[in-house]
Amino acid sequence: MNKNLNGLLQKVWPQKKILLSFITVLTLASCDKNEGIMEEAQTNSINSQNIKKGQLGGQAITYERKNGMNFFQGDIVLSDEQLAGNESHNKGGATLSRWPSGKIYYTVASNMGSINANKITNAVNEYNNKTNTQWIPRTNQTNYVEFIFGSSSGYDGWAHIGYQGGKQNISLDQNIDLASVIHEMGHTVGLYHEHCRKDRDQYVSIQWNNIQNGQAYNFDIYNSGTDIGPFNINSVMMYWPNSYSKNGQPTIKRANGTNFTYNRTGFTTGDLNTINSMYP
């Protein structure tokens, strides 16, 4: 989703608990444009009845239940099994959240449209050329990702986190940019949001008073993940400075209280190191 994010996966750690981490990726549009899009995309009010409490990796979390799915940190979809802590469930030779041998088979919905189909192709090339993951067009594999079409007027997306087995989705709105496609694919390989790292308070300051009512849980630290490498404020998995702002003011600043300009321009070295350490 255009909301910004980071995390972790494994190549072959069968039977071991998956720890998830956080990283970075790519955006070609300007910072000002995307920040405006983010504000527009996040104006929808939240139904408090849909806010749920659960467990993920042994940690208590807050998530939103809507359209029969569990949304964590805005655009990450968790399976019921993940929330139930059933991490011993083995599918296709890997535990939940890590794609076997780093191979991710995918297909594209027929109604995606040529513009977004081209973005998918470009994003796949970025992963295949720069990371140890392999995004491979599906033939008859049963464990795969389908890129599905979201809103015809939106700018966002969402994705299931990590490897879950069977068919899982990456949803893309009509106006999503290439960097945000890469961001959603980052969730698929197992990345959570950068601003939720355990060490984030050393580098950024969350402006809680500027966050929309009911959305503060999207800024909670995820302690059960594994942080790889140093904090990266330019990570593709980072939220925008004004994500979920209720008044146009920053919701995230640098730790010293100054504003920062966030402009995704592609994979950073930190992003690549994180993914490739997850998938050696």
pLDDT band at 53 (very low <50, low <70, confident <90, very high): very high
Distance CA 221, CA 125 (A): 32
pLDDT band at 57 (very low <50, low <70, confident <90, very high): confident
Q: What pLDDT, in 10s, does the model give residues 139-162?
A: 999 999 999 999 999 999 999 999
pLDDT attached to residue 216: 96
Distance CA 251, CA 235 (A): 17
The answer to whether 21 and 7 have CB atoms below 8 angstroms apart is yes
pLDDT band at 210 (very low <50, low <70, confident <90, very high): very high
At residue 62, does pLDDT exceed 60? yes
Tell me whether residue 184 is one of the annotated catalytic residues: yes
CA 193 to chain centre: 6
Please check if 195 is assigned to a binding site.
no
Q: What percent of the chain has pLDDT over 90?
A: 68
Mean pLDDT of the region 80-105: 69
Mean pLDDT of the region 82-111: 74
Average pLDDT, the chain: 82
pLDDT attached to residue 130: 97
Distance CA 168, CA 207 (A): 34
Of 35, 64, 87, 184, which one is the catalytic site residue? 184
pLDDT attached to residue 85: 67
pLDDT attached to residue 35: 43
User: Which comes out higher in pLDDT, residue 267 or 201?
Assistant: 201
SS3 content of the chain, % helix, strand, coil (to 5): 25, 20, 50
CA 176 to chain centre: 14
Mean pLDDT of the region 110-137: 97
Please check if 187 is assigned to a binding site.
yes
Query: 16-20, 44-48, 258-262, 267-271: which range is least confident on average?
Result: 16-20
CATH architecture of 21-278: 3-Layer(aba) Sandwich (3.40)
Please check if 193 is assigned to a binding site.
yes
